[in-house]
Chain A
Amino acid sequence: MNKKILIIFIFTFFTNILNAQDTILKNIFLKDVIILSTRTNSKLENIPASIDVIAKEEIENYPSTNIDNLLQSVSNVYVNRSWGIFSKNSSVTMRGMDGTNRVLVLYNGIPLNKTSGGGINWYMIQPETVEKIEVLKGSNSALYGNNAMSGIINIISEIPKEKFKGNFKLLYGGYQTFGSSIHLSGNQVRNNRGWYWYANGFWRKGDGYIMVPKETRDSNDSKLGINEFSSDAQLGYQFNEKTKLTVNYNFYTDNRSDGIKIYEKEGGFQKSFSNLGMLNFSTIMHNGILFNAKAFYHYDYFWQHTEKLNETGDTYKMYDTDQYSNDMGLWLNVTRNLGKINKLTLGADFKHGNMDAEDIYRTSTDNVKRKGNISFAAAFLQDEIAIGNKWNIVAALRYDYAGFNSGSIVVDNPSYNTGFLRSFAEDYPSNHWMSLSPKISAKYNFSNKVDMYISASKGFMPATLDDMCSSRKITKGFKEANPQLKPEYVFTYEIGNTYKPTSKLMFESSIYFSEGKDFQYFVATGEIVDNTSIVLKRENIGKVNIAGFEISAKYQWFKNTLLKCNYTYNHSEIVEFNALNETGVNLKGKHIAEIPAHQVFIGLFNRNKWINSSIIFNYVGEQWVDEQNSATISDHFTIDLRLYREWNKRFTVSLDLQNLLDDEFIDKKGGLSPGRYFELEIGVKF
């Protein structure tokens, strides 16, 4: 059955290719694309770094159910969304380093990583309103400071160009999933003056599936259902050719079952509310200085209701987690050309984040409160040097200050559930750190067909509030807070090139080596709590070495077909271990967990006046599931498809098929992937 579907699709796909007519695939080779992630609006071809851009056309053609799906197409980006749309969140990592907090994710240049845990709520952004996604690989703390360890992902929302347009869509998907969306936008800018705006709403509800493998399933296992709603709006005003003010607001709420239903009518579930407000102002002053200001406020509320029964069925627990977190900041920078060679950028960033959480036990008397604040201040200087048409050099230096304060954990009325926490309960002392992060990179254009870059840079990342303040249960055991956790640093050296033998073919490759110091990693302390949970503590374990390379190719096959493929290799190893304790376990020589050594991506995209289609092959290699390398997640291979048709520029139909071959795999939490999943969408444009 699966093979028949695949054969029919491939036949349709090639028929499409041969019938290709007057539609076009724009921006395939992204020659004149302006990159915003450098904070100076630079041309892609002038930047000495490994950069991928996912253009609007690719976003529309990609079989995605969430914005992070699109990142699978970028070499050396690992997207882990093992429960599909039913995942609580998605983990996106880059270049052989684990943890989403080691990737800086920007939305219109504003950081989305939460200071509470470093994670990203990918659900806040709907692909409908995204103009492009820029992915800069390698450490980049010289420009952005915290989180920019392995790379930067910058999601840019669209600026509407038409006077008015809109669409309304209805969705039906696997596991009894329904949804709808509406999108309205307009642009009243005339003679470089006027308003532009959009408003977007999205709702999706699904029954979900049971993620526990059949062999170990019992009567308490239930489906991972979802009910989610998001909306976002943009309002901007262009004062003149040089000055623009844009305000964005994103809202997201969801209710997700956690897959366990024992006595409670709804079982365990989580609810979240996220609000993000952003303000972007840019102007070019009379003396040619570009001034850019960004302000943001990000508020998250999270509520989790949990019930658990132990293996023998004699210990039942029910508790709620109630967590608030806030992030706010102001980022300023000015850019000025100095002569014909230098472009100088000077900037200052301020950010403050806090977390306030409480675990309220219902089957005992315990209340555990944990909280903390962290503040950042930074100044940076960047010089972009262009020497003729051959050399582009970037030199940057940034000073960061990070301060931690008001951290504490309080245990009220402890019982056997949290009695062990008494030894962790205390007011944590304030702490602060400083870092100087340099970067130097250069690119040499041998010809229009060949260029090469070389780069050395530093990454800097203080600990998250959750690692410093939260002693709580996690999937792997019990996490003990470590308020003494120091920042980690990474030094990355890389060399790469681009080769365009013809106007339709392009190869890109990079090879790199990263050395992490004071690397933050989970270590078992040798203690156990609550009789069964291993205590893990995030420690500065010492040094890690990460070496790897990525190679990618793009080929415009026939008139309207793009072939995009890439291969990634990573070797991530702990080379120095300074966190020995009474367990005697030494992680030296172990591989970093949750990093596949091999990844392969092949995508075929076709735009056609009859039907647009794409087919994605994605291979993720075997990876270690735990710090001690005692178990692995097996490699897996998926095929995703998308078909899209438009009639009279008014009616649309699309079909997304994910994991066509129904290849189920077990993830790091022991959960089963959903297997084959589809979403059928019909829409009307106006």
Chain B
Amino acid sequence: MLAFISCSKDESNNNILPAISLKTGGIYVSSDTAIAEGLQITIGIKAFANNGENLTNLLIISNDSIRLFDYGFNAISIDKDVLINKNSDSIQHLAIIIRNSKGLSSTLNIKLTKNGSAYKSVIYFPEITLGAQNNIAFGSFASLANAQVYVLNNAYQNQQLIDLLYYYNSIDFNALGSPGANVTGIYSGSNAPEYWTVKNTTYFSRNIINVPVASFDYAINDSLIIANTFVNGGRKAKSLATNQIWAFQTQSGKFGLIKVIQVDGQESGSVKIAVKMQQ
């Protein structure tokens, strides 16, 4: 008696695969190569929708498991240079995949063979204590160039040096950020970061990494940092808790890892962190 009306997804029937190619010559690696572990190579990628659906995803997967690069976009073509660090495997297979909005994909493969090691030692700051916005004992701002901690007025005078700041609010809880993270209404007065003229931005990520505290403690070169570089970081490290490990990248492009040693209190509280970062 009842004629129920059904429906279907509104998708076109365009089944054309996207086209992909690698740039050759100069700095580019476009075929099977032997290189030292930890060494950085450049892969130049060109892809076209090829009269099919728009391209929406470019990714590079190492040994069928680790996503070294995963980029979402929406265009008919893309021209992208991607930096990859050779891992410690004797042979590393890279799959370079371009996908369109319909999920159709094309893939190119490159084999990297290990040839020696190029890892470097790290800069290590075993303990940096930052105070939240109402803490009168510790400053809220830090430079990762020298692990120097600044109170608000001094930080204002040294804007170009500040990479980290720490605060608490009821939305982000205990959080690390940077002057470029749009942290507003937290620090009072005309010297608050929203009024700065130089705002360094540090990006953070904890999603893609799962670094045990012991691995952080024993890391003596930048292999652990390189293994946990990221491309889609956030500008804040929120809800900090003891023994969390966060990956970060500074405004100058250097990657590193932060270990949260201790978090106390709220607006008047403090956080104690350890930092290992690339030289």
Asked if A263 meets B54 with Cβ closer than 8 Å, knowing A275-B4, A585-B170, the reply is yes
User: Does B99 make an interface contact (CB < 8 A)?
Assistant: yes
A-binding segment of B111-119, B138-146, B187-195, B205-213: B205-213
User: Does B126 make an interface contact (CB < 8 A)?
Assistant: no
List residues 321-343 of chain A with CB under 8 A from any CB of chain B. 322
User: Does B121 make an interface contact (CB < 8 A)?
Assistant: no
Given A363-B57, A531-B234, 10 further pairs, Cβ under 8 A:
A322-B9, A362-B57, A363-B74, A365-B57, A416-B207, A416-B231, A420-B207, A524-B173, A529-B207, A531-B205
Inter-chain contact count A-B, CB under 8 Å? 112
Residues of chain B lying within 8 A (CB to CB) of residue A360: 103
Nearest CB of chain B from residue A168's CB, rounded to whole Å: 23
Residue of B nearest to A415 (CB): B70
B207 touches A419 (CB 8 A): yes
Residue of A nearest to B101 (CB): A362
Residues of chain A lying within 8 A (CB to CB) of residue B204: 531
B67 touches A277 (CB 8 A): no
B234 touches A363 (CB 8 A): no
Nearest CB of chain A from residue B14's CB, rounded to whole Å: 14
Bound: A532/B204 CA distance, A? 10
Residues of chain A lying within 8 A (CB to CB) of residue B266: 584
A318 touches B56 (CB 8 A): yes
User: Does B5 make an interface contact (CB < 8 A)?
Assistant: yes
List residues 515-541 of chain A with CB under 8 A from any CB of chain B. 524, 526-532, 534
Bound: A264/B1 CA distance, A? 41
Residues of chain A lying within 8 A (CB to CB) of residue B70: 364, 415-416
A residues lining the B interface (CB < 8 Å)? 247, 249, 251, 253, 262-264, 271, 273, 275, 277, 297, 299, 301, 303, 307, 311-312, 315-318, 322, 360, 362-365, 415-417, 419-420, 524, 526-532, 534, 582-585, 628, 630
B206 touches A531 (CB 8 A): yes
Residues of chain A lying within 8 A (CB to CB) of residue B74: 262-264, 307, 316, 318, 363
A416 touches B170 (CB 8 A): no
List residues 190-237 of chain B with CB under 8 A from any CB of chain A. 201, 204-208, 230-236
Residue of B nearest to A233 (CB): B2
Nearest CB of chain A from residue B80's CB, rounded to whole Å: 13
B residues lining the A interface (CB < 8 Å)? 1-7, 9-10, 54, 56-57, 59, 67, 70, 72-75, 99, 101, 103, 169-173, 182, 201, 204-208, 230-236, 238-239, 241, 266
A277 touches B4 (CB 8 A): yes
A365 touches B171 (CB 8 A): no
A271 touches B10 (CB 8 A): yes
Nearest CB of chain B from residue A197's CB, rounded to whole Å: 13
Q: What are 16 A-to-B residue pairs whose CB atoms are below 8 Å?
A: A249-B2, A262-B74, A271-B7, A273-B7, A317-B72, A318-B74, A363-B73, A364-B57, A365-B59, A415-B59, A415-B70, A416-B207, A416-B232, A527-B239, A584-B266, A585-B170
Bound: A565/B143 CA distance, A? 62
Residues of chain B lying within 8 A (CB to CB) of residue A249: 2-3
Asked if A526 meets B173 with Cβ closer than 8 Å, knowing A303-B9, A318-B72, the reply is yes
B72 touches A316 (CB 8 A): yes
Set B9, B54, B239: member contacting A528, Cβ < 8 A:
B239
Set B10, B59, B170, B207: member contacting A530, Cβ < 8 A:
B207
Residue of B nearest to A630 (CB): B170
B208 touches A419 (CB 8 A): yes
Bound: A297/B208 CA distance, A? 44
Bound: A630/B169 CA distance, A? 10
Residues of chain A lying within 8 A (CB to CB) of residue B103: 360, 362
Nearest CB of chain A from residue B202's CB, rounded to whole Å: 12
Residues of chain B lying within 8 A (CB to CB) of residue A322: 9
Residues of chain A lying within 8 A (CB to CB) of residue B101: 318, 362
Residues of chain B lying within 8 A (CB to CB) of residue A415: 59, 67, 70
Bound: A247/B2 CA distance, A? 9
Residues of chain A lying within 8 A (CB to CB) of residue B232: 315, 416, 531
Residue of A nearest to B175 (CB): A528
Residues of chain A lying within 8 A (CB to CB) of residue B4: 275, 277, 299
A263 touches B5 (CB 8 A): no
Asked if A363 meets B235 with Cβ closer than 8 Å, knowing A249-B2, A315-B72, A585-B170, the reply is no
Residues of chain A lying within 8 A (CB to CB) of residue B6: 273
A526 touches B241 (CB 8 A): yes
Asked if A534 meets B207 with Cβ closer than 8 Å, knowing A362-B56, A416-B232, the reply is no
Nearest CB of chain B from residue A618's CB, rounded to whole Å: 31
Residues of chain B lying within 8 A (CB to CB) of residue A316: 72-74
Set B3, B72, B241: member contacting A364, Cβ < 8 A:
B72
Bound: A607/B38 CA distance, A? 84
Residues of chain A lying within 8 A (CB to CB) of residue B233: 531
Residues of chain B lying within 8 A (CB to CB) of residue A362: 56-57, 72, 101, 103
Asked if A628 meets B59 with Cβ closer than 8 Å, knowing A263-B74, A415-B70, the reply is no
Most buried by B among A303, A363, A526, A532: A363
Residues of chain B lying within 8 A (CB to CB) of residue A299: 4
Bound: A312/B9 CA distance, A? 32
Residues of chain B lying within 8 A (CB to CB) of residue A264: 74
Asked if A630 meets B99 with Cβ closer than 8 Å, knowing A299-B4, A322-B9, A527-B239, the reply is no
Nearest CB of chain A from residue B171's CB, rounded to whole Å: 7
Nearest CB of chain A from residue B236's CB, rounded to whole Å: 7
Residues of chain B lying within 8 A (CB to CB) of residue A585: 170, 173
Residue of A nearest to B53 (CB): A362
Bound: A367/B101 CA distance, A? 13
Residues of chain B lying within 8 A (CB to CB) of residue A275: 2, 4-5
Residue of A nearest to B54 (CB): A263
A363 touches B1 (CB 8 A): no
Nearest CB of chain A from residue B237's CB, rounded to whole Å: 8
A582 touches B241 (CB 8 A): yes
Nearest CB of chain A from residue B218's CB, rounded to whole Å: 25
B208 touches A416 (CB 8 A): yes
B1 touches A247 (CB 8 A): yes
Asked if A363 meets B72 with Cβ closer than 8 Å, knowing A273-B7, A277-B2, A531-B233, the reply is yes
